[in-house]
Amino acid sequence: MTDVHSTIASVKGFKVSGIHAGLKADGALDMALIYSDTPCMAAGVFTTNLMKAAPVVVDQETLAKNSTHIRAVIVNTKCANACTGQQGIDNARQMQRWTAERLGIGEDEVLVMSTGVIGTQLPMEKIQRGIGLAVDALGAENWEAAARGIMTTDTQPKMASYRAAQGYSIAGIAKGAGMIAPNMATMLGLIVTDAAANYPEPAAHIRNPDLGDMLHSGAEYSFNRIAVDGDTSTNDTVLMLANGASGISARYNELSTQLDPVCAHLAKAVVRDGEGATKFITIHISHAFDYDDARSIANTIATSPLVKTAFYGGDANWGRIIAAAGRSSAKLDPNKLKLWVSRGEELRRELLLFENGMPTAYDENEASAIMHEPSIVVELDCGSGEPNGYTVWTCDLSHDYVSINGHYRS
């Protein structure tokens, strides 16, 4: 397994910062800037929510015209700049303009991200001041500050890094704790690499590979497989920048293989920090009729309030899991289903709870003990179709989740 770390030292050619611009009243860091000394190949994956925030619209337009010489990403918290009309679009572009002016680069070389409350306009005086502070604070080793500068209800910064044997690095930061659903999961993420992304000698089966293909693939096996509450946001964005500063050209298949666990590390960190979460839950579906059915079953279980509250209470209420699978859009034969729960995060089929259409003679105390663990695996074998499985990572649903979201704007 790729050795991914939860810290970032530095990545050649990149400077970052995290500062307090006055957006948060408590003095916490609330803006971040990522800057490359040289132009980057760039790609992004964005929300599937039709109510796209202004920065999502602006980034999509920017990348459609320029994906080969991006230099910077500016991020603000507290205000999502979503559902803000033309003024919101203009403000997002003004963020590009101010950042470009302070860095001495082109406006089309800047991408923007925002997170926070929907429906409020950006406080542009504070944003302008923050951009200046962020540029002045740029440094090669400020990654934790940058990760903190993009947090909202997160309780801790989320970082991941990997140093390849070939000599280049891949690193990323992310934010997210609530409004998380497995469909370009609700979050912000930024991944950088100092590898050159021109992919010499790509694998024979890969046709015209590019950074976008790689990032979409990485997102499908990570950010699209997490759920906290089942809501998708207006601002979901994951960006990837490759500047080639290491002087090493990475093969497409090698870099892609190394990117996936970095993305997964960040995605799992979002779930572990889910709003009010007390348990990390792995849901694995095998032998479903096809891939889409496996995904439907996994996502239905992962977002079921009844399932999630049972996990919070340590209640081995397997009936809720089976019922959730049954109401998914998947084809199922109830008599072929087998359901296991296990301690930890590895698939090991520890305790069989259900088979042949009815509960097994399992030990209720043992089941309860497993459900009280901080990390739990649920494995459902559907008994038909291909053996390849589908995995989603989720968490429980606690009283604190309601408290956090009941007073989010206040």
Active-site positions read 186
Does residue 392 contact residue 283 with C-beta atoms inside 8 Å? Answer: yes
Amino acid, single-letter form, for residue 297:
I
Structure tokens at 8: 């970032």
Q: What is the H or E stretch that residue 98 is in?
A: helix 85-103
- How far apart CA 233 and CA 53 sit, in angstroms, is 9
> In this structure, are strands 158-163 and 169-175 parallel, antiparallel, or unpaired?
antiparallel
Distance between CA 363 and CA 372 in Å, rounded? 15
Q: Tokens 């990760």 appear where? A: 147
Residue 100 is inside which H or E element, if any? Answer: helix 85-103
Report how far residue 179's alpha carbon sits from residue 280's, in angstroms, rounded to the nearest whole number.
16
Pairing of strands 237-242, 31-46: antiparallel
Alpha-helical regions (H) of 137-251: 143-148, 211-220
Determine the Cα–Cα distance for residues 122 and 248; give it in Å rounded to an integer.
40
What are residue 110's DSSP bridge partners?
72
338 - beta bridge partners?
Answer: 355, 381
CB 229 within 8 A of CB 179: yes
Among the residues of 28-114, which ranges form H helices? 54-65, 85-103
Residue among 73, 309, 282 at smallest CA distance from 191: 73
Q: How far apart are CA 124 and CA 121, in angstroms?
A: 8
Burial of 183 (0-12, 13-18, 19+ CB in 10 A): middle
Contacts for 326 with CB less than 8 Å, ≥ 6 apart: 332, 334
> Phi and psi (nearest 5°) for 193?
-145, 145
Say which DSSP state 107 is in: G
